[in-house]
Structure formats: C-alpha cells, structure tokens
Amino acid sequence: MTSATTFTTIINACRRLFYKRNRTGDLMARATEDVNRVRMYLGPAIMYTVNMAATMIITIIAMLQVDVPMTIYVLIPLPILSISIYFVNSIIHQRSEQIQQEMSRLTSTAQEAFSGIRVVKAYVQEPATLDYFEANAEQYKQKTLRMAQVQALFQPLMVLLIGLSIILTIYIGGQKVIAGSITAGNIAEFIIYVTMLTWPVTSIGWVASLIQRAAASQKRINEFMQTPADITDSPQAKALDLDGAVRFDDVSFTYPDTGIQALRNVSFEMQRGERWAIVGPHGSGKSTIADLLVRKYDTTAGNIYFNGDAEIRHISLAALRHQIGYVPQDVFLFSDTVNNNIAFGLPQATHEQVITAAQQAAIYDDIMRLPDNFDTVVGERGVTLSGGQKQRVSIARALIKEPQLLLLDDCLSAVDTATERQILATLDQYVQGKNAIIITHRIFSLLHFDQILVLDNGTVAEQGTHDELLAQGGIYANLYELQATQAL
C-alpha cells in the first residue's frame, strides 16, 4: 500500500458530506503517517518476524539434539516472555490509537493555521494560535512519552529473561557435567545457542510494537477505504451526449448534514440552446440547483432529466461532468501556473486554446501583466491573484471545455462593473447555440436571457423574461429597482 493509492481511493470513494465532517489535516495524516506505519509492518516487521522464527526454530532443534531436558529448562523463561508480551502489547495498541488521533489533531491545527495565516495576522491572534498549537503538541508529547514508558519495559524484560536462561544453563549444565551426562563443552555450546536467541527474543518487543501501531493505523485507514460513496453510477448508467435541455420535475432536496430543506417541489424546463438566469435572495436554493445538476448530491424527491427523458441518475458521472462547464461560488486554484489552472478543464488543450479561453473570460490582459504571463505560478489557492482575477481564471477553465451546459454560480461577484460587462458581452457570443445558466444575486441587463427563474425560500416564486417579470411587480421587480437605485 502506498500514500498515492490511499489518497486516490479517498478521492474516488468518499462523499461530499464526508469531506464536511473530516478536516484536511486529519485526511493528510491518515494518507501519510498512518500509511507509513502500515508500510513498516509490511516491510521490516514481516522480515524480522521471519528471521526471528527461522533462527529460533533452527537453534532450538540444535539444542534438543544435544540434551532435551536441559533445553526444556533453558527455555522455561519463554512462556513468561509470551505472557508479558501479550499484556504489554494490549497497552501499546490502545496508546497507539490515542497517539495517532493526537497526530491527526496536531496536523489539522497546523494546516488550518497556515491556510488561514492572513486571518490570524489580521486579528492579531498569533499568540492564541501558538498557545493552542502548543497545547495540542503537549498532549501528543505526553501520550508519546507514556507509550515510550511501556516500550521501555521490553528491553529490561528481555535482558532479564536471557540472563535467567544463561544462569539456568550454567547451573543445570554444571549438575549434568558432575553427573557425567554431558561435557563442559556442551555448556559452552548451550550458552552460544542462548546468545543466538538473544536478538530474536529481544526483537519480539520491537516487532510487536510495529504490529500494534500498524494495526491502529490500518483501522484508521480502513475508515476511509471502506467508506461507501453516496453518489455513484447506477447499473443503468451510460455515457450520453447532452444536448443541453434540462428539466426539473417536482424536485425537493434536504441537505443530509444539516437537515435544511433547500428546495421544495421545484419544476421548470429549459430547452436546447436557451440561456437562463436564476436569481433570488440568500438561502433561496440557487446554488443547490447547481449542486444537483452536477450531481454533488442526489434529489430527495423528484427527478432531473436531460435530453428530454434521460434521468440524471442514468447518465454516467464522468459523461455528465465532462459536458458541464461549472464555475462554483468558492473558486479554487491550484498552486500551479495560470496556464495549467486554465488547462485543468481540458488537460490536452493547446496553448492557443488556453489563450482563447482567457480572452473569452476577460482575463487575458491581466495575465499578460503578470511577471511570467501564462507561466506565472499563482501560489496556494491562487493567493497572488485578486478575487476577480481568480473568478475569471475559473471561468476560463470552464469555457475551455466547450461544454454543452455552462453553469456559472455567482462567479462575477468580485469583478467591477466594466469587467462584468466585458465578460457578459463575450459570454453572449460564446453561448450562442449552447445552454447557459447564470446563478446570481445581481440583475444583468446586458446579456439577454430566454427565461429568468426567481427562487424564494426554496420554491419557484416567479418565472419569465426580464420584461414580463418587471411587469408583474413582484420579487424580481423589487430586486431590479433596489439594484438600480444602488447603482445611482
């Protein structure tokens, strides 16, 4: 087993809810530290166990050939050793689990501190963060010391038992020499045999510690490896070429981690080649529609259909997500070059395709002002870019796929008005003949929408064109008037 294998399995098998319940540092500790402990078992522990067993068997057979009664007396300490190891190993196993849990907590604390270092400094919380880390480190140290105390019992115990075997060899052998049943050379021979058994016997404690630690780590790894995925391909799933048509049929959804019902009996139908906007106040369920379209979750009730009658669960996840260009609210960029971040949407993309996507997302000029242009490394999570630049790089990443359905989830919130108009003008040309859904809090007047869906409290409150909704004088009209007033 390797860290890469475990990491890949975690990525492929675990659930979105799973990631919400487990911290990044804990995941990394299990994928590195725990895997390393299991590796120690699969390598040195097994090797030394085989070596130890072979040495003991050969040595004991040789001793039995010299004198059986004397061999039995010399080996009397071994059952005591076995019993001692059994009890000590039980303690080691319990403390190993505690140590691994503390290591995960320590790793998570460090990871969160480094990831949020700008917030920590902004609120002058360096001393408090350091104190919290030191408290966790102290707990880890104390539990490690208690483990070391238990492990320290092995060496004296081994030396004592080996010394007892030598004493028995000399005493019983001396009696037999006096009786004339063996020679003095046999005593020396037995002492050599006992000495040969010293390393195998003393290594039992070290190997036992490795095995117990590996068992504790394997248990933690199995918690991930055996976690079933909530979102999987059904037996009927197949690759399907999407034409962009989307239909929500009485869809309701409740988040499993919070119990909040985000959507209630939502129904709408989007025809091929249409451009829609979904608007509404915070918490109205706009982003939930995006999550359901890319199958981050499955609906609680109702169904979603593509191409008219193809249920979303019957479309393979890979085919579905390959054909949807999704830009989430929470933009994430890798610590890599701008070029590779954009090409992430289409790994085989040429540099010309990357440039075209950057131009469509109105980020090309900004990239050319960077020190190394497209080869500029953006830092962890794109830290060297502004919020608006990160959003536009993320849009370029989606556009380079040339998806059948472009799904933008409030991805223009950090750009200025002029840049927003430039992006929308480009998108207006790009989405010709394709389906596009823009989820937003703001009302756009530049890009013409075939339909605007207004959500309120998880339900469809209004639906229609811009002019139709203004004429109704409802939620959309109020939002439009409010934003028009703020723009003055």
Domain end residue (candidates: 161, 195, 225): 225
pLDDT confidence of 21, banded at 50, 70, 90?
A: low
131 with 213, same domain?
yes
Q: Is it the case that residue 121 has pLDDT exceeding 80?
A: no
Q: Which whole number is the average pLDDT over 268-288?
A: 86
CA distance 440 to 427: 15
CA distance 437 to 429: 15
CB 48 within 8 A of CB 162: no
Domain of 312?
A: 246-487
Within-domain flag for 236: no
CA distance 469 to 454: 9
Per-residue three-class SS string for the chain: CCHHHHHHHHHHHCCHHHHHHCCHHHHHHHHHHHHHHHHHHHHHHHHHHHHHHHHHHHHHHHHHHHCHHHHHHHCCHHHHHHHHHHHHHHHHHHHHHHHHHHHHHHHHHHHHHHHCHHHHHHCCCHHHHHHHHHHHHHHHHHHHHHHHHHHCCHHHHHHHHHHHHHHHHHHHHHHHHHHCCCCHHHHHHHHHHHHHHHHHHHHHHHHHHHHHHHHHHHHHHHHHHCCCCCCCCCCCCECCCCCCCEEEEEEEEECCCCCCEEEEEEEEEECCCCEEEEECCCCCCHHHHHHHHCCCCCCCEEEEEECCCEEHHHECHHHHHHCEEEECCCCCCCCCEHHHHHHCCCCCCCHHHHHHHHHHCCCHHHHHCCCCHHHCECCHHHCCCCHHHHHHHHHHHHHCCCCCEEEEECCCCCCCHHHHHHHHHHHHHHCCCCEEEEEECCCCCCCCCCEEEEEECCEEEEEECHHHHHHHCCHHHHHHHHHHHHHC
Within-domain flag for 323: yes
214 with 258, same domain?
no
pLDDT confidence of 191, banded at 50, 70, 90?
A: confident
Question: What's the structural domain count of the chain?
Answer: 2
206 with 277, same domain?
no
Within-domain flag for 238: no
CATH number for position 166: 1.20.1560.10
Q: Which whole number is the average pLDDT over 167-178?
A: 84
210 with 274, same domain?
no
Q: What pLDDT score does 32 carry?
A: 67
Average pLDDT, the chain: 79
207 with 293, same domain?
no
Q: What pLDDT score does 18 carry?
A: 58
61 with 167, same domain?
yes
CATH number for position 433: 3.40.50.300
CA distance 135 to 208: 30
Q: What pLDDT score does 11 carry?
A: 45
421 with 357, same domain?
yes
**Cβ burial, residue 91 (10 Å; 0-12/13-18/19+):** middle
Q: What pLDDT score does 7 carry?
A: 46
Please count the CA atoms within 13 angstroms of the CA of 378 that sit on its side-chain side. Answer: 24
The values of phi and psi at residue 472, to 5°, are -70, -25
Within-domain flag for 230: no
374 with 423, same domain?
yes
Q: Closest Cα partner for 52 from 171, 197, 163, 175? A: 197
pLDDT 10s digits, 312-322: 888 888 888 88
Q: Closest Cα partner for 270 from 472, 452, 447? A: 452
Within-domain flag for 169: yes
Helix axes of 184-225 and 46-66: crossing angle, nearest 10 degrees: 150
Within-domain flag for 234: no
Higher pLDDT, 452 or 73: 452
Please count the CA atoms within 13 angstroms of the CA of 275 that sit on its side-chain side. Answer: 17
Q: Which whole number is the average pLDDT over 386-412?
A: 84
Using the CB atoms, write b or e for 348-383: b if 16+ within 10 Å. Answer: ebeeebbbbbbebbbbbebbeebeeebebbbeeebe
pLDDT confidence of 446, banded at 50, 70, 90?
A: very low
Q: Which whole number is the average pLDDT over 159-188?
A: 82
pLDDT 10s digits, 37-59: 777 777 777 777 787 788 888 88
Q: What pLDDT score does 14 carry?
A: 43
Within-domain flag for 94: yes
115 with 193, same domain?
yes
Domain end residue (candidates: 163, 193, 225): 225
266 with 180, same domain?
no
pLDDT 10s digits, 139-167: 888 888 888 887 777 667 777 777 777 88
Within-domain flag for 240: no
135 with 64, same domain?
yes
First to last CA, the chain: 63
CA distance 99 to 105: 10
Higher pLDDT, 12 or 380: 380
pLDDT 10s digits, 331-343: 888 878 889 888 8
216 with 253, same domain?
no
CB 388 within 8 A of CB 419: yes
Domain end residue (candidates: 225, 256, 288): 225
Q: What pLDDT score does 330 carry?
A: 78
